[in-house]
Amino acid sequence: MTLVLTHSDINALIDRASVYDAVERAHADLATGTAGNPAPAFLPLDGGGAALPMAASSARHRASAVKMLSDMPFNRDRGLPTQRSTILLMSAETGECRAVLDGRLITAVRTAAASAVATVHLARESSTALGLIGAGTLAVEHTRAIARVRPMEKVLVWSRNPATVEAFRARVADLDLRVEYADSPRQVLAAADVVCTLTPSKDPIVHGAWFRPGLHLNAVGAPPRADHREIDGAGMGSARLVVDSRATALAKSGDVLLAIEEGRLTEDDVSVELGEVIVDPRRGRRSEDDITVFNSVGIGLQDLVTAHTLVTRATERGIGTTLDLSA
CATH of 2-106+301-323, picked from 3.30.1780.10, 3.40.50.300, 1.10.3720.10, 3.30.1490.20, is 3.30.1780.10
CA gap 15, 288 in Å, rounded? 33
Write the CA distances from 60 to 57, 92, 97, 114, 246, integer angstroms. Answer: 9, 10, 17, 19, 22
Write the CA distances from 125 to 40, 145, 215, 297, integer angstroms. Answer: 34, 16, 11, 25
Q: What residue spans of the chain are helical by DSSP H?
A: 7-13, 16-32, 104-122, 137-149, 162-171, 185-191, 233-238, 246-252, 254-261, 274-279, 300-317
CA gap 304, 302 in Å, rounded? 5
CA gap 249, 243 in Å, rounded? 7
Whether the CB-CB separation of 105 and 84 falls below 8 Å is answered with no
pLDDT at 77: 87
Of the candidates 10, 5, 60, 97, the residue with the CA atom closest to the CA atom of residue 301: 60
CA angle 156, 132, 29 (to 5 degrees): 135
Of the candidates 117, 257, 260, the residue with the CA atom closest to the CA atom of residue 196: 117
Whether the CB-CB separation of 226 and 254 falls below 8 Å is answered with yes
CA gap 189, 187 in Å, rounded? 5
pTM for the complete prediction? 0.96
pLDDT at 220: 98
Q: Is the dihedral of CA 124, 23, 218, 174 positive or negative?
A: negative
Please give the distance of CA 306 from its chain centroid, rounded to a whole number.
Answer: 13
Domain limits of the chain? 2-106+301-323, 124-299
Query: Comparing 2-106+301-323 with 124-299, is the CATH topology the same?
Result: no
**Upper half-sphere CA count for residue 241 (Cβ side, 13 Å):** 29
The answer for residues whose C-beta is within 8 angstroms of residue 220's C-beta and 6 or more apart is 111, 115, 138, 142, 196, 197, 198, 296
pLDDT at 34: 98
Q: What is the pLDDT along the chain (327 residues), one digit of tens a residue?
A: 999 999 999 999 999 999 999 999 999 999 999 999 999 999 999 889 999 999 999 999 999 999 999 999 899 889 998 899 999 999 999 999 999 999 999 999 999 999 999 999 999 999 999 999 999 999 999 999 999 999 999 999 999 998 999 999 999 999 999 999 999 999 999 999 999 999 999 999 999 999 999 999 999 999 999 999 999 999 999 999 999 999 999 999 999 999 999 999 999 999 999 999 999 999 999 999 999 999 999 999 999 999 999 999 999 999 999 999 988
The CA-based diameter of the chain, rounded to the nearest angstrom, is 61
Residue 59: φ, ψ to 5°: -70, -35
Per DSSP, what are the bridge partners of residue 71?
Answer: 50, 83
Second-level CATH architecture of 124-299: 3-Layer(aba) Sandwich (3.40)
